[in-house]
A and B are shown apart, each in its own frame.
Chain A
Amino acid sequence: MGGGHGETISVTLRVWRQDGPDEPGRFDVHHQTISTDASFLEMLDLLNEELNAAGEEPVAFESDCREGICGTCGVMINGRAHGPQKATATCQLHMREFSDGDEIVIEPFRAAGFPVVRDLAVDRSPLDRIIEAGGYISVGTGAASDANLTPVPKVAADQAFDAAACIGCGACVAACPNSAAQLFTSAKIGHLGLLPQGQAERWSRTETMVETMEEYFGSCTNHGECSEACPKEISLDFIAFMNRDYIKAKVRNRALTGQH
């Protein structure tokens, strides 16, 4: 069997520790010897085992599905959101991406809208707030017509899907030098705005979601860091789509085009 099973590397970890939202933080240094087959988070699990055994409190970090789909995990690894591997959430990153002797700096996602809760865990609830502002199609349970009543061109469906693939992990905000949430918000606006079902509320949705986003996050300067960090590789094109729709929403005569 190939794949370098059983190889072991030694790495130095500089891990951000912070007791609470308003406490000062610090870096703790730990040395880990670890199999390259371990995932990055399993490496942290082992670190926590060692800390616990030594009577020190384990490092708080979040993860859940460990399959790259729930969006719970996410830390900055050597200055990159979710670490060095492209299109990979922290939980799917494996130690074979690192070399013997590496120093690995692990920090929480940082943004004013993502206050640190403890150690590497942050509060990303402003993302839910943005969805609450309009990230839905208003259709009550039972009110739907037959699913095949409205054909959706395959290209539109595929494009919408590319946007809908967003897992809400917040890496885009973390990676953005401006702490902007444009990629997240535009993914939702793009997903719903591209589908026929989403047309009725297209303009009001764009307006309220963008304006809510701006209560928490910075302004986009088109660096493109978000898309690079995105584990689902969501395209910057959706940001352009959102920008255009926002201006349209403000300018167009919505009363006479029959759209809300």
Chain B
Amino acid sequence: MAQTTEQRYRVAPVRSRGREWPFPLNLYQSAVGRKWVMALTGMGLIGFVLIHMVGNLHVYEGPARMYEYAESLRTIGGGLVPEGGVLWLMRLGLLTMFVVHLHSAITLSRMSGNSSEKAGRISGAKKYEGGRDHIAATFASRTMRWTGPIIALFVLFHLADLTWGWWLGGDFVPGDPYHNVAESLGYLPVAIIYVVANIALAWHIFHGAWSMFQSLGVNNPRYNHLRRTLATTLAGLILVGNLSFPILAQAGLIDEDGRMCPVGEVEGNACLAEQGHGAAATGHGTDSTGSVSP
């Protein structure tokens, strides 16, 4: 009559291990595996944010170049696939990463919550009645679960704002991002939302980009000291780039005073297309930035 685990240890497990799922889904079953997935999706999302930010810098080249950039995204894949096909695939991938990142974050957070003494309380907030003196944890690492939801809400807002044009109403012109950005970010409350959300985003990336290496187990004394630098640089670049949009829009650097094409779905877009090609062909692309200058 062998001794059971319960007889041996008086502390019962906080959670029980279920039946193992088939590979590779079983990776997602454990917290370590889930963190790995979270790191991978996080890396993908950082990549997206970075590319998105760099791409958006086209806004400083004027409506035509911005239009051309947007168009180029739709025609990735050339004639091989239907127009917008690859873009949709990318969107789908992005959405999946986003959902998985979110799901892993929520479930892992709940797991940590169950593991701190006050079961059910959200983790990261484990309480000591006498207070808690953090030594190593940064403000960023401790606020991941606040910056995370802020970013998620912001993403919805951002899509509603500039993709679906929910509240620009009549002012929203599909296919003319320059106009939409100028319209939306020109409005102070919206600009403030963008500023706040992007600070949260950079804050999130500051910890996330460093944490990612740990979760993936990427660790080498030769470059370990660079991990923090890399995370800071990434977060800094994204912060500066993304903040420039609402701030410069408010400062009047993104406006349509010198706009040469009419604003409107058909005639405006056609004009932008023509102008963009013309500018590219004659090498006057940079000149067109003049149109955004006061």
Contact = CB atoms under 8 A, between A and B. Distances in A.
Is there any pair of Cβ atoms, one from A and one from B, under 8 angstroms apart in the complex?
Answer: yes
Interface of A: 14, 16, 25, 27, 76, 78-80, 105-107, 110-115, 123, 125-126, 128-129, 176-180, 210-211, 214-225, 227-229, 236-237, 239-247, 250-251
A63 B186 CA distance: 65
B225 interface: no
Given A80-B133, A129-B9, A178 B35 contact: no
Given A79-B130, A215-B16, A112 B119 contact: yes
Contacts of A239: 214
22 contacts: A79-B133, A80-B133, A105-B129, A113-B115, A114-B117, A177-B116, A179-B116, A211-B30, A214-B30, A218-B113, A218-B114, A218-B123, A220-B35, A221-B141, A223-B134, A236-B214, A237-B224, A242-B217, A243-B32, A243-B214, A247-B33, A247-B36
B26 interface: yes
Given A177-B123, A224-B137, A247-B217, A215 B14 contact: yes
B34 interface: yes
B14 A216 contact: yes
A125 B10 contact: yes
Interface string B122-158: 0111101111111111100110100000000000000
Where chain A touches its partner, the secondary structure class is mixed
B292 interface: no
B217 A215 contact: no
Given A128-B9, A178-B115, A221 B211 contact: yes
Given A105-B131, A113-B11, A246 B5 contact: no
B32 A112 contact: no
Contacts of B219: 237, 240-241, 244
Given A129-B5, A246-B33, A250-B26, A78 B14 contact: no
Given A79-B128, A215-B14, A217-B115, A225 B135 contact: yes
Chain B interface residue number, banded:
35 or more
B124 A221 contact: yes
A33 to B, nearest CB: 21
B223 interface: no
Contacts of A244: 216-219
B193 interface: no
A94 B27 CA distance: 46
B111 interface: yes
Interface in B12-54: 13-17, 23-24, 26-27, 30-36
Contact of A250 (B27, B113, B132): B27
A99 B35 CA distance: 43
Interface in B191-235: 207, 210-211, 213-219, 224
B108 interface: yes
A14 B131 CA distance: 12
